[in-house]
Amino acid sequence: MEAVAKLNNCPTSPRKMRLVVDLIRGERVEKALSILKFTNKEAAIRVEKLLLSAIKNWESKNEGARPEENQLFVKTIMVDGGRQLKRLRPAPQGRGYRIRKRSNHVTLIVDSKNTETTQN
């Protein structure tokens, strides 16, 4: 049984978020949490909270089951571009340079390895 958690309109550029997300793709949940805890990026804090939310969603779907016993792992994690805030910065000779403040959407799916072996 898998559980989903989403983070919408996170005010970080998708490129910076993908650097953190690529570290935990396919990892077990315990290892992913420790990787995120010691990663020196601002995006790691947000992804850590998202991963904890996905674990809680999985626990609410599977009452009585413990994540440690079922070997939870990060099945899928995607970063998509969100909306952009467009601003103008003053430039020389009366011009204006455009600034695009990017945001992103992160989708995280957590699954247990025990359910895959019983289904096959």
Cα(73)–Cα(112) distance, rounded to whole angstroms? 6
Reference 51, options 83, 25, 71; nearest CA is 25
Would you state the pLDDT for residue 67?
Answer: 82
Task: Encode the chain (120 residues) as per-residue pLDDT tens digits.
Answer: 899 999 999 999 999 999 999 999 999 999 999 999 999 999 999 999 999 999 999 999 988 888 888 899 999 999 999 999 999 999 999 999 999 999 999 999 999 987 544 454
Contact indicator for 103, 9 with CB cutoff of 8 Å: yes
Rounded alpha-carbon distances, angstroms, from residue 113 to 31, 70, 72, 108, 117: 15, 6, 6, 16, 7
Domains of the chain: 2-112 (3.90.470.10)
Cα(24)–Cα(21) distance, rounded to whole angstroms? 6
